[in-house]
């Protein structure tokens, strides 16, 4: 309606963050600053991503990357950009990144926050110009600031997140995030270098007709999952699978649908990572009234035991995820 349109057109991400901060009387502004730091890095990664196809035409554009080295892989660049922005921002003490085997200690013991991030997910899609994404989770450290970072600061279950979000570098670049009070989407206006609120208060449809899964692994799926997929086909649902998690998730969040990355022979505990992929999207899904489990248990309640551990992921419209789980249970009992 007009009021929503007026509200969404006028509000930049900065003003939205400030307004939300005002809703928290005790907010110190550090989380607000952290969200701004992430948005800044996103703008830089967006620019690099848009130029990816051209960066090898060095001569024509006189482009060599900042270190003058040969063109690095875009996900490595994105990792450097986010880590640098978070270091400069001063709010973060540690970063868990898909690109780094170990925790990155930012040597900033006054930083209250820990970030888990997949700087550029689906980077194999870059060369063929398919949408890619950034996924991030934000936690408060549990040990006192000023002391060295401990494993308990890092290995927190998803239900401890203070914020989570993703960036979709698609036909437009969108930032979608939650701080635990609903989900809001912002679209980047390149000419102004600003994110504008375009999808206030995202609520996922309770059901849908889209299912997203790589059926190339069909023969290694458990029987209950095969039965569920047969059910989707009998219902003539639409199979939509981009092979880029953020793009598949975002479409299903807005239109209704389910995304499944199950355990397979190749990936016996699933392929997607708990700390910087599943947890962030699960927090957003639940905040938008959707559901996220490993086929049985809530993703956000999984206690991590290793940094890069994987989990099966069933995420999307609540009724579809519950229905898929019921097919898995039935077959389990029949074994
Ligand atoms: P598969 C991309 O590599 C990714 O991590 C997700 O973005 C995507 O949904 C999934 O893996 C695709 O995996 O095995 O179907 O190619």
pLDDT in tens, 238-256: 999 999 999 999 999 999 9
Measuring from atom 2 of ligand 1, which residue has the nearest CA? Answer: 122
SS (H, E, C) 246-268: HHHHHHHHHHCCEEEECCCCCCE
Question: Which two structure tokens, joined as six digits, stand for 40?
Answer: 């800044």
Cβ(277) – ligand 1 distance below 6 Å: no
What is the 122 CA–ligand 1 centroid distance (Å)? 6
Distance set, CA 287 to CA 23, 56, 179, 189 (Å) = 18, 41, 9, 26
Please report the pLDDT score of residue 155 as a whole number. 97
Predicted confidence band at 20 (pLDDT cuts at 50, 70, 90)? confident
Please report the pLDDT score of residue 67 as a whole number. 43
Cβ(247) – ligand 1 distance below 6 Å: no
Measuring from atom 14 of ligand 1, which residue has the nearest CA? Answer: 214
What is the 280 CA–ligand 1 centroid distance (Å)? 16
What is the 80 CA–ligand 1 centroid distance (Å)? 22
Cα–Cα nearest to 330, from 290, 302, 295, 298: 295
Measured from the CA of 242, which atom of ligand 1 is nearest? 9
Measuring from atom 10 of ligand 1, which residue has the nearest CA? Answer: 243
Bridge partners, 280 (sequence order): none
Task: Quote the ipTM score.
Answer: 0.98
When mean pLDDT is compared over 9-13, 27-31, 153-157, the highest value belongs to 153-157
Cβ(271) – ligand 1 distance below 6 Å: yes
Q: For 319-329, what is the mean pLDDT?
A: 97
Q: For 49-76, what is the mean pLDDT?
A: 60
What is the 221 CA–ligand 1 centroid distance (Å)? 16
Please report the pLDDT score of residue 53 as a whole number. 74
The phi, psi pair for 183, rounded to 5°, reads -120, 135
Place of tokens 């980047």: 188
Predicted confidence band at 73 (pLDDT cuts at 50, 70, 90)? confident
Mutation test residue for ligand 1: of 243, 249, 251, the one with most atoms within 8 Å of CB: 243
Please report the pLDDT score of residue 21 as a whole number. 84
Measured from the CA of 216, which atom of ligand 1 is nearest? 15
Between 56 and 203, whose confidence is greater? 203
The alpha carbon of residue 15 and the mean position of all alpha carbons in its chain are separated, in whole angstroms, by 23
Measured from the CA of 246, which atom of ligand 1 is nearest? 7
Please report the pLDDT score of residue 301 as a whole number. 98
Q: Is the pLDDT of residue 92 over 90?
A: yes
Q: For 260-283, what is the mean pLDDT?
A: 96
What average pLDDT is seen over the chain?
89
């Amino acid at each position: 309606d007009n009021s929503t349109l007026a509200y969404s057109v006028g509000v930049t991400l900065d003003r939205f963050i400030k307004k939300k901060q005002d809703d928290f009387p005790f907010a110190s502004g550090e989380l607000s600053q952290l969200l701004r730091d992430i948005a800044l890095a996103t703008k830089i990664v967006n620019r690099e991503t848009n130029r990816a196809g051209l960066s090898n035409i060095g001569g024509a554009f006189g482009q060599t990357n900042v270190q003058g080295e040969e063109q690095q892989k875009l996900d490595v660049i994105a990792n450097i950009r986010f880590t640098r922005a978070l270091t400069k921002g001063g709010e973060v003490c540690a970063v868990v990144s898909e690109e780094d085997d170990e925790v990155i200690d930012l040597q900033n013991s006054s930083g209250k926050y820990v970030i888990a991030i997949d700087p550029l997910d689906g980077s194999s899609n870059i060369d063929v110009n398919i949408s890619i994404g950034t996924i991030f989770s934000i936690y408060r450290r549990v040990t006192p600031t000023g002391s060295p970072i401990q494993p308990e600061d890092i290995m927190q279950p998803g239900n401890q997140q203070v914020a989570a979000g993703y960036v979709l570098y698609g036909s437009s670049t969108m930032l979608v995030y939650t701080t635990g009070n609903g989900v809001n989407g912002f679209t980047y206006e390149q000419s102004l270098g600003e994110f504008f609120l375009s999808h206030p208060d995202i609520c996922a449809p309770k059901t849908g007709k889209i299912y997203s899964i790589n059926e190339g692994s069909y023969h290694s799926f458990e029987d209950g999952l095969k039965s569920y997929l047969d059910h989707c086909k009998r219902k003539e649902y639409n199979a939509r699978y981009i092979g880029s998690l953020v793009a598949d998730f975002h479409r299903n969040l807005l239109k209704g649908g389910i995304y499944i990355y199950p355990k397979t022979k190749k990936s016996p505990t699933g392929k997607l990572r708990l700390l910087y992929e599943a947890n962030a999207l699960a927090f957003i899904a639940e905040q938008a009234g959707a559901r996220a489990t490993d086929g049985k248990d809530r993703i956000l309640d999984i206690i991590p035991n290793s940094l890069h551990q994987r989990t099966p992921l069933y995420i999307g419209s609540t009724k579809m995820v519950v229905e898929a789980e019921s097919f898995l249970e039935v077959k389990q009992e029949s074994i």
